[in-house]
A and B are shown apart, each in its own frame.
Chain A
Amino acid sequence: MKDGKNNISRRGFLKSSVAAAAVGAGINSPLVKGLVPRAHASGSRPQGEVTSQYTACDMCFNRCGMIARKQNGVIKKLDPNPNCRKSRGMICAKGNAGVQHVYSPDRLKYPLMRKGKRGEGKWERVSWETALDYTAEQLLKIADEYTPCGVMFTPGVDSQSRFVQMFCDVFGSYNYTNHESMCLLSRNRAYLDTFGEVPTGDVLHSKYIIISGSNPMEAIMTPDTIDFIQAKKNGCKIVVLDPRFTKTAAIADEWHQIRPGTDMAFFLALSHVIVKEERFCCPDKTYGYDQFVEHIKDYTPEWAEKECGIPAEDITRIAKEITEAAPRAMVYPGRRSSDYEGSTQIMRSRAIVNVLLDNWDRPGGLMASREVGVSSPDYEIPWIPENPPDRVDAGVVPGLFNHVGSFQIMREAIIRQEPYPVRGWFSFKTNFMQTGANRQKTIRMLENIDFFVNIDIMMTDSAWFADGVLPGNSFLERDDPVHALQGSSACACAFIREPVIDDMFDSRPPLWIIKELAKRMDLEHHFDFTMEEFRQKQVKDLEGALEVMRQDGIYFNPSKAYGIYEGDPMKTLSGIKELYNQRYEQWGIEPMPVYSPPRNPRDDQFRMVVGRPAFFTQSRINNELLTEFMEENTLHMNPEPALKLGLEDGDMVEVESSAGKGRLRLEIDEGIEKQTVYMVTGFGALSPQMSLIYNKGASIAEVLEDERDSICGNMAMHETFVNVRKVS
C-alpha cells in the first residue's frame, strides 16, 4: 500500500501542492473558486482531460456507489455509479457534497498537540514523528500503570475502523465502543432476541408497511428510501406513526400522530387483534404462543386508543389490512432506536408483529443476511493476565453487546473510576461531544482521561478537547479494504476504494497511523501486510471479485435472497421465533413486552425528540454545500403552546433541560404533537474550526439527558423534558 509519505511523484506533488495552497488560501479566494466544482470557472486554466474513477460515498453509513470525475488533479464532481444496485444508481445531496468535504478549508492540515487547557484552542503544530512518538509513549504509559484496558478505543463508521478494532485488540484493551450504542442497539437487541438475527426490510416487494419510530425519507437508508417510493407506485400501502408530520409521513397513505413513547401500546393491540381474529397462520412455528395469547388478552384496541391516541377502529382495521397483505407486509425494522429506557421492549413489540405476519425470510417481508462471501482475516489477540476480568461497562445491564458495550455506561464508569480506571482515549472519526447525550458529562469524563488522541479530518468538537489531533485523510484519498454490504433484495455486495487524489496537506491514512504507532509499541508484526495483501485475504473465496470491483465499482454476490433458513433452525435459544424470550426470563426481565405508560412532561414542559434531515449525517454538517440547505437548526413547536408562551416563528428561544441548554430560533410546526419539540442534530459546535456551525443553533448533545435502555445500555434520547423561553 501507499505509505502516505515517500511515494509522491513530482507531478503528484505539484498537483496536491496547488490544491493545498488553494484551500489554505480560503474558500472565497479566486484560486479555490477555480478549483472546486461549484466554483466560478475562471477560464484562465487549460482544461485537462476529465478522468473517472469508481469509489464509494462516505458521507454517511450507506456507502453508495460513486464515480469521481477529476480534472487537472482536482475532483470536479461526484456522480452516482449506475452499477450500484444498493443505491439504485443514485447519490443524495450529501454524496454530491462529498467534494466539499475533501476540499473544505476547515480540513485538519498537520498533527497538532495541545498547549493550553483542554478546549482552550491553543495548539502546536508538530511533525508526524513527534506526534506518533508522544501518542505511543502516552498509551504505553497508561497501559503500564492501569493495564491496557485503561485505554478506551472508539472508531467511527469507516472502512478502516476494522484496523482500529485490531489495534485495540492487540494493544490488549476490551474497552471498545462506537456510535452504535447511541443508535441502533435497541433494535438489534430486540430482533436478535426474537428472530436470532437482525433483518433488513424487503421494502421494494412489500404490499403493506407500518413505519414507526423511523423517518427513512430523511434519515436516508439505501436502498430502502428509494424503494419506498417505488413500492408505493407498485401499490404498497404505507402507514406512519409519528408525533411529527415527517417527510416520511408526507409520502404515506396514512399518518397517525401517536403520543410519544406509546408505540408499544399500538403494537400490542395490533397483536391482540391478529391473534383474536385468528389471522396468524402458524402458532406452532413460535415459542411461547400460548403465553403470548394470555399476555395480550387485555391489550385491546380500545385500551390502546387511550394510551397512544390512535382510534381503536383504525387499529382493528390496520390489523385486518396488514394481515391480508401478509407475508408481503412488515413493520419496518428501521435503524436508530436510541429513544427510551424501554426501547428494546418497544422494538420487541414491533418484531413480534412481524412474527405474526409470518414474513421472515420471505419476499416483501424481513430478510436475513445474504452471503457476501468477504472473509475477515484472522489475527492473534494476546491474553494479558494483568487485565481486569471484563469490560469497564460490564454487568450493569443484562443484554450488553460484548463487542461494543455502551458509551453511556462507559462514561459513567470513567467518571466514577469504577470498576477500574480508564485513563486514555483513542478516537477515530467519532465525535461524541456532538452525538453523545449530555455533553457536559462527556467533558466531565475528560477530567479523568490523562491522554486523548483524536484522528479526524476536521477539528470536530471532540478533537477540540483532545490532547493530540492527528489529521486523517478523506475517503477520496484512500486505499480501503474490501467493504461488504447488505442491500436488502437489491444485492449483497462489496467494494473497495482507491485514491482519487493524493493525501491533502500532511494528512495520512488511518492504517498508516496505526502501523506507525504499532511500530513504536512492538506490535508491528500484527500489521505486517499491505492493503492489497489484506484485500486478497478478504476475497480468498471470491475469485475475480477484486477485478470486478475495479471494473464496475462494485461486486455482487448472486447469493440466495429468500429462504436462507429453509430447513435450518433459527439462532434463538428455542430454534424458532420467540414471542416469549427464554433468556429474558433467565435475566430476570419481562420475557414478553409489558406496557407501561411513558413518563410525561409537566404542563410547562415539552418532550425533546431529535432526528436528522436528508442532507446531514449527525455531526458531518460542516460542509458549505450542505449548510446552504440549513444554516442553523431550529426548534419545532406546535402553534398552540407557542401561542400560550407568547412565541412567534423566528423568535430566539432558550431550550433547557436538567443536562444543559441551548439557544436557537423557533419554527412553528403545525405537524408536531403539542407537548413535543424537535430539533436536528449536529449544530451548536464548540469548535471554532467547525466554522460553518460554530455557535450556530443548539447542540442536541448539550440539551439531551442521558438516560439509557435498561436492557442493552443504548442511549435513550427521547426521555428528556425541556422548558422553552424567549430570549432577546
Chain B
Amino acid sequence: MRKLIILAMAAAIFATQVGIGLAMLDGNPRQGRFLFRQECRPCHMENPQQEPAGEYLGPDAKRQAEWNEVFEDVQALPCYEHWEIDEDMLIHVHTYLHQGAADSPTPETCG
C-alpha cells in the first residue's frame, strides 16, 4: 500500500481537500475500513498495541455530525502528527466512519 508522509507544509492544501471531502464524502468506505484498521485501530482498540494509546474507536463510537467535526479539524487531533496517510486516504477513512456512524442508515457495530 502506497503511503505518503503528510508534511506540515501541505496542511493548508490538505485541509481544503478534506473540506471538499466533507461536502462530497465520495471515498470508498471499504478502502476506508482497511485503512482505518491499519492506521488507526492499533492505537484505538481495547488493548492498544501502539502509542499514543487512545480510546476504543469504531464507526459507531460517534454520530455522523461528530465524525464530520473530527475531520473538519484533523490537525487538532493529538495523533495527527503520527499519521502516515495522505488526503485521499483520509477521505476514504472519513467516508467509512461516516457511513457506519451510530446514527447512519446502516450503523456498524465494530471497526
Contact = CB atoms under 8 A, between A and B. Distances in A.
B106 A575 contact: no
Contacts, number: 40
A389 B28 contact: yes
B28 A572 contact: no
Contacts of A376: 109-110
A8 interface: no
Interface stretch (A58-66, A98-106, A306-314, A379-387): A379-387
A27 interface: no
Interface of B: 1, 28-31, 33-35, 37, 63-64, 99, 102-103, 105-110
A591 interface: no
Given A389-B28, A571-B102, A573-B64, A381 B107 contact: no
B111 to A, nearest CB: 8
Contacts of B99: 402
Interface residues of A, number: 22
A399 B102 contact: no
A583 B105 contact: yes
Shortest 6 CB-CB contacts between residues of A and residues of B: A383-B34, A402-B106, A571-B103, A571-B102, A401-B106, A383-B31
28 contacts: A174-B30, A193-B105, A376-B109, A376-B110, A381-B33, A381-B37, A383-B1, A383-B30, A383-B31, A383-B34, A383-B35, A387-B30, A389-B28, A399-B105, A401-B105, A401-B106, A402-B29, A402-B99, A403-B106, A403-B108, A569-B63, A571-B63, A571-B102, A571-B103, A571-B107, A572-B103, A575-B63, A583-B105
B32 to A, nearest CB: 9
Nearest to A196: B103
A170 to B, nearest CB: 12
A380 B36 CA distance: 11
A528 interface: no
A378 interface: yes
A392 to B, nearest CB: 14
A136 B28 CA distance: 28
A192 B30 contact: no
Contacts of B110: 376, 378
Contact of B105 (A192, A378, A381, A382): A192
Contact of A381 (B28, B34, B64, B102): B34
A573 B63 CA distance: 8
Nearest to A391: B30
A583 B101 CA distance: 14
Contacts of A401: 105-106
Nearest to B35: A383
A583 B64 CA distance: 12
Given A381-B33, A399-B105, A573-B64, 4 more contacts: A381-B30, A383-B30, A571-B107, A575-B103
Interface string A158-193: 000000000000000010000000000000000011
Nearest to B102: A571
B92 to A, nearest CB: 9
Contacts of A196: 102-103
A383 B107 CA distance: 21
Contacts of A399: 105
Contacts of A571: 63, 102-103, 107
Interface string A347-389: 0000000000000000000000000000010101111000101
Q: Which of B29, B31, B103 has the most CB of A within 10 A?
A: B103
Contacts of B1: 383
Contacts of B28: 389
Contacts of B30: 174, 381, 383, 387
A196 B110 CA distance: 17
Nearest to B45: A378
Contact of A382 (B34, B107, B108): B34
A528 B1 CA distance: 25
A583 B107 CA distance: 14
Interface string A527-553: 000000000000000000000000000
B34 A573 contact: no
Nearest to B103: A571
Interface string A238-274: 0000000000000000000000000000000000000
B88 to A, nearest CB: 13
A399 B103 CA distance: 14
A613 to B, nearest CB: 33
A84 to B, nearest CB: 25
A173 B38 CA distance: 19
Nearest to A378: B110
B91 to A, nearest CB: 13
Contacts of B34: 381-383
A221 B103 CA distance: 28
B76 to A, nearest CB: 23
Contacts of A575: 63, 103
A416 to B, nearest CB: 23
Contacts of B35: 383
Nearest to B92: A383
Nearest to B109: A376
Contacts of A192: 105
Q: Which of A382, A569, A573, A575 has the most CB of B within 10 A?
A: A573
A174 B108 CA distance: 15
A503 B64 CA distance: 48
B37 A380 contact: yes
A214 to B, nearest CB: 24
Interface string A557-591: 00000000000010111010000000100000000
Nearest to B41: A378
A120 to B, nearest CB: 39
